[in-house]
Structure formats: structure tokens, C-alpha cells
Amino acid sequence: MAASNNKSALGLLRVLLVASVAVPAVLLLVTSWRDYNTQMARARQDLERTCEVAQENAVRVFERQRDVAEHVNDLVRDMTENDVLASQFTLHRQFAALTANIPEIQSVLLVGANGEPLVSAGLYPLPRHVSVSDRDYFRGAIAVRSGAFISSLQMGKFLKQPFFGFARTWTGPDGVAKGVIDIAVSPQYFTDFYELLLTEDGIDDHGKIMMLMRNDGQVLARYPRPRGPLPRVQSASPFAAAIARSPEGGVFKANGVTGPDPPRRIFAYRRVTGFPLYVIAGRSTSAILAVWWQIILGRLAVGVPTTFALFAITWTALVRTRREEWALAQADAEIVKREHAEQALLRAQRLEAVGQLTGGVAHDFNNLLAVIIGSIELLERRSDDATTVQRLARNIRAASERGAEITAKLLSFSRQHRVNPEVVDVNARLRAFEPLLRQAVNETITLTFELAPQVCSVSLDPGEFESAVLNLVGNARDAMPRGGRITITTRNDIIGADHAEMKPGPAVRVTVSDDGAGMDAETAARAIEPFFTTKGVGQGTGLGLSQVYGFAKQSGGDLAIETAPGVGTSIAILLPGHAGEVTIATSDAPLSVQVRPSEAVVLVVEDEPEVRAVAVEGLKAIGYRTLSAADAEAALDILRQNGRVDLLFADIVMPGARNGLQLQDEARRLRPGLKVLLTSGYSLGAGPLPAGVPVLSKPYDQTRLADQVREVLAAAG
């Protein structure tokens, strides 16, 4: 039980051990994945918002330039190139005034049809015979004719500063192009603005980037500022693919916009409405991941020690339980070993007991047989002398009775005798038994009875009870070789709940006390052991007290021994009070009605020829007529012949198809009302006795046989 409990506890602990690591790990994975997505989404949103701001700014700036260009055109619409040159100074002042408060505008340049700069907002007077006809803003503006052309980033011819041009045609009232108006836009303005935008969020990211770009991939402004010339976006770049997919705006991941440009970034872009331009913002994914890592590290800082503690606790519990299981297994093995040893000891003790018994019994029987054989020899020689014959016959009888006593004790010890409990009055039994008890002690001993006036009735086998009292009195007598006093007392008692061997309730205590030798502790401890005796070989079998103890136990009672060397011994039999209706069987039962023996026919069934012959002779001697059979079949044959049979007297244990019990069943079927007396010396295994069938135990003498036969015949059939 304990072992299986431990097994399931071990299993649970193993599961807990795995769970203590697996559950936090799975939780960490799930939450980290969720956080990663959240961080990425947030970064993308931030980028898109930044992009939107930059796009709005770009729209405003370029619309302003369109207005400025329009204004310039208004000023010079009706003029010829010569007119313009003539009023170069005035126009220079006007241009300068027009752009004075516009931060991104470096200068405004009016170029004639052949590419000669005519007026500049930034420089007066302009050198003559210079041409910008090779510049892309001049050619681009002429090419687009109406609308604006945004040039690439380049170095100013006069001011020697980088710029990109916002150019349109100088259009006359008739709509014919007379030249080009070019506004030089400073990339620095955008770079500053982008720096402001990107640094305001306070995120430490060296991969942050923002660009203004022509839709053909030409970069116009970029933060952080490049060291060399600004590169162009390759047509096969991830950005080109993204605007091909979604021209108005979107998000993509790449290693660079213009070409391979680590680190890897996430980009958002937007088209500058109304112009062939895009704004792009990017952040390095490693910076986003760094934030994410911070969160994970925070979690790990809490989770790892907790998980470790949980794991350690579970592990300790597991190790402890395992050790406990091992100890339990060890203890189990120890118990098994001890049980084996105990069994071996028990076997050895049993063998020793059998040896003692065999020795003692053989010795006793040899003595008896010596008496019997000797007497018979004398009988054969002195058969003519009646007094000698009688004396020898008495010797034989005494020896045989002693033999019967020994076999009875042996059977009692082997518990192979039947108990026939009756509800009795212990006092009455003892009174009836008194003469026999007095016979058992000699004149040097005073035997007194102290019987309580009213004891409760008890259920017991009267024969066994008498044997027990006789054994106790015999022991007391043997303990007082020089005489003394034996007292037999009875009194009512109450068994408490603390008594381990008996049920609580009323009881009767029958005590036999003596003032003899007493027992030392060792003898007292072993006294009830079967075959334990301190008496010489042939003097005692050592079965007396074990019979008393067995009887007490069989009656639901117990035995109590009080003894002190030199003081005396007092042994009490405790018997539980009878609970049912009290019908007291007294020893002085009404005398049986005398049946004239000559009227009765007794059928004797016995397989042992000598025993059968003795029974037949005995019955004949007191006047019965007899029939005899060696087995059940022969007996049934006789019964079937319709001759007179009054009593079937049969042995229970017989060889053949039927034993005595089955014979009596069959006989009663053949002759209902037939009286039956069974006999047995050893009836265990023959089956339960049918109620009300009297059994005469073997060995029996002629008197007991005659009494029993008379009693059975007299009983109402």
C-alpha cells in the first residue's frame, strides 16, 4: 500500500519536474513571440507616422516653390531677354525679396532661351556669356514644358553650394517658352528637418534614416548626411519593388534602400502628393529587437530564479521520495527476511515438539503395554485363580484407561475432537464433579470450594470443562508433594473494553489456587506451551495447561496465571457469560426409562474385527440381541432384510463407499425412526454431525457403552 502510494507520488513529482521547466519556457516563448510582433507593429506605426509628417512638409515646401516660381514668371512674363538684362538689378532685388523668408530656397535664377543666366536672387551682377544649358534643370524644364521639373542634386555654378533645382519654363503671355526659371533648393533644409523628426522620439538607433527621393531613384536629401555623393536607387532594389506594388505608400524590410547598406532595416515610404517625389523613413531592426530583448531580459530576471527555485524544490522532493521508496523496499525486504526466519524457527520448534511428544508418548505407552502384556501372561498362567484374575484384569483396565487418557489429550491438543457446547451453570457442574476431584487429590491435600451464590450461565463443552478443572487440580496436587490447600472459586466478572483477548461484557471467573511450589518466571512463561513439562519422563505430557488454554479459547474466554515461587499458584479460566436464553443443563438429568435389554436388537457396524467383537460381546453380556457388519454395505443389506433392528451402532470412520454418517442417512431412509448411536475416536473430516445424533467417543468401556445404548433406546424416537 505504502509502496504503491510512493510510486504514484514519484510519477506526479516527475511530471511536476518537467512542468516546472516546460510551463515557464512555453509561457516565455509565447509571450516573447507576442511581444516581438507588438514591437514590430509599433515600430512600423511610428515609422509611418514620421513618414506622414515628412510627406506633409514636403508637399507644403514644394507647393511654396511652385508659388514662388509662378510669381517670378509673373514678374518677367511680358519682358524680352534684353528687357530683363536692362532691369537686372531691379529684378535681382525683387527676386531676393521674394525668397528672403523662405529657408529652403538658396537662390532663384532666370535663364534665357540659349541657357545664359539673366537674373539671380543671390548674385549681382551676373558674369556674362556663361551657359547653364548643360544643366539637367534647364533641359528638364524645357522638356516637361508645362509643370515643374525637379533636378538632381548638384553644385551651384555661382554660389558653390549643393542644391537641387525646382525648375519650370519662363512662359510669355502667348504661352511660348522664353527660358527657364530655376529655384535652387537647399537639401540642408530637409536634412535638418529630418534630423529633428528622427531624434525627437529619443530612441537610440544608429540605423535611423530618412530620405527625400525622386521617383526615378535619385536621392535629393538624406539624414544622416552621406560622406560621399548621394547614391541612386537601383531599379532592382527592394524599394523599387515596393513602389511598384503600392505606389502611394507602404512598408518593407531591406538591407538598404539604394543598394546593400547594412544594417537591416524596416522602411516606411509615402508619395509626395502632386510631385514626382517620395519620402522614406527607416529604422534598424536590431534597435527594435534591442527593446524587445530588454523586455525578455526583464522577464527572465524574474522567471529564471523562480523556475530554478521551483525546479530545485521539486527535484529535492523527488530525490527524497526516491530515497524513501528505496528505504521502504529495504524495509519490505527486511520484513520478508524476518518472516522467513520466523517460519524457519516455528518449523524447528514444531519438530522439537513432535520429537518431545513422540518420546514421551512412546515411553508412556511402553509402560502401559508392559503392564498389559505382563498381566495377560500371568492371566494365561493363573487363569484358575479367580482373585488373581480379577486383580490382573484391574491392572489391565487401569493401564488401558491411562492409555485412553493420553490419546484423549493428544486429540485435544491436535484439536481434532469435537466440542459440543451447552449452556451450563458452572457451580452445578463443579458440585457434580466434586467427588471425582476429591479422588484426584490425596489425603494430605485440603480441597475447598468457594462458589459465588449466583454466577451467570456460560456456553461450554461440559466434558472439556471438567477435563480443564481436573488438569488444574492435578497440577496443583503435583506442586504440593507434601500436602497443602487447593481452593476452587467461582465469581462473576466484567470484561472491560481494554481486554484484548475477550469481548467486553459479563463473564465467570473459575480459579484454582494452591499454596505449592509456584513457578519461576521462565516456567510460567512457557507453562501453557504444548509438551512443556518440568515433570520427569512418563510423569507428565506437558499437555495439561495447553488443554486448559485451548478450552478457554474455544469457549471465547481466556486464561490468567498468577504465580510466585514458594508461595503458590492461582490459575483462572475466564468464560464469557451466555447472552442467549438460559437453559441450564444440570448434571442430575432425569433418569432414563429402563428398557428391557432382551427386547432390543442392536446392529453393530465396525470395520476393526477386535473392536467389533468386544462391542458385540459386551452387548450380549448385558442381554441385548446383536447383529454385526464389517462395513456400511453389509449393514444396509441386513437392514433391507426386514428383520428386527432397534438400534444402529456404527463407527463413523470406515473404509468403503459410505462412512458411518452416510450409513445413518441411508439407514434412516430405509427405516424412518431407527435409533442410531455413532462412535468415533477420530471423526475430523467425516463431515458435520447431524443434529441430535449421539456420539460415543472411543475408546469406551463396557459400562459407558451400556449406558449410552440404554439412553438412546429410552429416548423418544
Ligand X SMILES: Nc1ncnc2c1ncn2[C@@H]1O[C@H](COP(=O)(O)OP(=O)(O)OP(=O)(O)O)[C@@H](O)[C@H]1O
Q: Which residues make up the interface to Mg ion (CB under 5 A)?
A: 475, 544
The residue (of 99 and 475) whose beta carbon lies closer to Mg ion is 475
The residue (of 475 and 513) whose beta carbon lies closer to Mg ion is 475
Q: What's the closest the beta carbon of residue 547 comes to Mg ion, in angstroms? A: 9
The residue (of 481 and 687) whose beta carbon lies closer to ligand X is 481
Residue 181: closest CA among 95, 87, 276, 88: 95
The residue (of 544 and 597) whose beta carbon lies closer to Mg ion is 544
Specify whether the CB–CB gap between 179 and 81 falls below 8 A. Answer: yes
Residue 508: closest CA among 531, 526, 521, 492: 492
Residue with the CB atom nearest Mg ion in the bound state: 544
Q: What's the closest the beta carbon of residue 565 comes to ligand X, in angstroms? A: 9
The residue (of 412 and 659) whose beta carbon lies closer to ligand X is 412
467 binds, among Mg ion, ligand X, none (CB under 5 to 8 A by kind): none
514 binds, among ligand X, Mg ion, none (CB under 5 to 8 A by kind): ligand X
Of the residues 189, 190, 278, 532, which one makes contact with ligand X according to CB under 6 A: 532
The residue (of 514 and 646) whose beta carbon lies closer to Mg ion is 514
Hey, what's the cell of 476? 496443583
The residue (of 183 and 476) whose beta carbon lies closer to Mg ion is 476
Is the Cα torsion angle 463, 468, 474, 476 positive or negative in sign?
A: negative
Distance CA 685, CA 659 (A): 11
286 binds, among ligand X, Mg ion, none (CB under 5 to 8 A by kind): none
Q: What's the closest the beta carbon of residue 653 comes to ligand X, in angstroms? A: 26
The residue (of 571 and 709) whose beta carbon lies closer to ligand X is 571
* Cis status, amide bond into 224, omega within 30 of 0: yes
Q: What's the closest the beta carbon of residue 369 comes to Mg ion, in angstroms? A: 23
Give the amino acid at 10. Answer: L
Contact letters (x/-) for ligand X, 512-531, by CB under 6 A? --x-xxxx---x---x----
* Exposure string for 239-262, b = 16+ CB within 10 A, e = fewer: bbebbeeeeebbbbebebbbeebe
Residue 64: closest CA among 143, 173, 166, 162: 166
Residues in the chain: 717
Distance CA 705, CA 531 (A): 31
Distance CA 41, CA 288 (A): 10
Residue 70: closest CA among 210, 168, 157, 175: 168
Is the Cα torsion angle 530, 532, 538, 540 positive or negative in sign?
A: negative
533 binds, among Mg ion, ligand X, none (CB under 5 to 8 A by kind): ligand X
3-state secondary structure of 154: strand
Q: What's the closest the beta carbon of residue 474 comes to Mg ion, in angstroms? A: 5
C-alpha to C-alpha distances, 194 to 222, 507, 561, 591, 699, nearest whole angstrom: 8, 112, 114, 139, 131
The residue (of 460 and 545) whose beta carbon lies closer to ligand X is 545
The residue (of 222 and 409) whose beta carbon lies closer to Mg ion is 409
Torsion of CA 63, 65, 68, 73, to 10 degrees: -100
Distance CA 76, CA 380 (A): 184
Q: What's the closest the beta carbon of residue 10 comes to Mg ion, in angstroms? A: 58
The residue (of 282 and 516) whose beta carbon lies closer to ligand X is 516
Percentages helix, strand, coil for the chain, rounded to the nearest 5? 50, 20, 30
Q: What's the closest the beta carbon of residue 419 comes to ligand X, in angstroms? A: 20
Angle at the Cα of 473 (from 467 to 477), degrees rounded to 5?
140
543 binds, among Mg ion, ligand X, none (CB under 5 to 8 A by kind): ligand X
Q: What's the closest the beta carbon of residue 539 comes to ligand X, in angstroms? A: 7
Judged by CB under 6 A, the number of residues near ligand X is 23
Q: What's the closest the beta carbon of residue 435 comes to Mg ion, in angstroms? A: 21
The residue (of 484 and 544) whose beta carbon lies closer to Mg ion is 544
The residue (of 471 and 659) whose beta carbon lies closer to ligand X is 471
Distance CA 197, CA 579 (A): 107
Helix axes 386-413, 544-554, angle to 10 degrees: 50
519 binds, among Mg ion, ligand X, none (CB under 5 to 8 A by kind): ligand X
The residue (of 152 and 534) whose beta carbon lies closer to ligand X is 534
DSSP sequence for 220-284? EEEESPPSSPPPB--TTSHHHHHHHH-SSEEEEEES-SSSS-SS-EEEEEEEETTTTEEEEEEEE
Q: What's the closest the beta carbon of residue 527 comes to ligand X, in angstroms? A: 4
The residue (of 424 and 473) whose beta carbon lies closer to Mg ion is 473
Residue 518: closest CA among 471, 568, 472: 568
517 binds, among Mg ion, ligand X, none (CB under 5 to 8 A by kind): ligand X
C-alpha to C-alpha distances, 180 to 79, 264, 463, 569, 683, nearest whole angstrom: 13, 42, 151, 149, 145
Residues 403-432 close enough to bind ligand X by CB under 6 A: none
Residues 533-562 close enough to bind ligand X by CB under 6 A: 533-535, 540-546
Angle at the Cα of 13 (from 12 to 18), degrees rounded to 5?
100
Is residue 238 within the footprint of ligand X (CB under 6 A)?
no
Specify whether the CB–CB gap between 426 and 490 falls below 8 A. Answer: yes
Contact letters (x/-) for ligand X, 430-469, by CB under 6 A? ----------------------------------------
Specify whether the CB–CB gap between 215 and 276 falls below 8 A. Answer: yes
Q: What's the closest the beta carbon of residue 472 comes to Mg ion, in angstroms? A: 8
Q: What's the closest the beta carbon of residue 572 comes to ligand X, in angstroms? A: 12
Q: What's the closest the beta carbon of residue 440 comes to Mg ion, in angstroms? A: 11
Q: How far separated are the first and last CA of the chain, in Å rounded?
A: 59
523 binds, among Mg ion, ligand X, none (CB under 5 to 8 A by kind): ligand X
57 binds, among Mg ion, ligand X, none (CB under 5 to 8 A by kind): none
Report the DSSP pairing between strands 675-680 and 695-697.
parallel
Q: What's the closest the beta carbon of residue 395 comes to Mg ion, in angstroms? A: 24
Residue with the CB atom nearest ligand X in the bound state: 544
469 binds, among ligand X, Mg ion, none (CB under 5 to 8 A by kind): none
Specify whether the CB–CB gap between 215 and 277 falls below 8 A. Answer: yes
527 binds, among Mg ion, ligand X, none (CB under 5 to 8 A by kind): ligand X
39 binds, among Mg ion, ligand X, none (CB under 5 to 8 A by kind): none
Residues 475-494 close enough to bind ligand X by CB under 6 A: 475-476, 479
337 binds, among ligand X, Mg ion, none (CB under 5 to 8 A by kind): none
55 binds, among ligand X, Mg ion, none (CB under 5 to 8 A by kind): none
702 binds, among Mg ion, ligand X, none (CB under 5 to 8 A by kind): none
Q: What's the closest the beta carbon of residue 535 comes to Mg ion, in angstroms? A: 8
Cβ–Cβ contacts within 10 Å for residue 149, how many? 22
Own/partner pairs for 665-673, CB < 8 Å, 24+ apart? 665/690, 666/632, 666/636, 667/635, 667/636, 667/639, 670/636, 670/639, 670/640, 671/639, 671/645, 673/717
Residues that bind ligand X (CB under 6 A): 471, 475-476, 479, 514, 516-519, 523, 527, 532-535, 540-546, 569
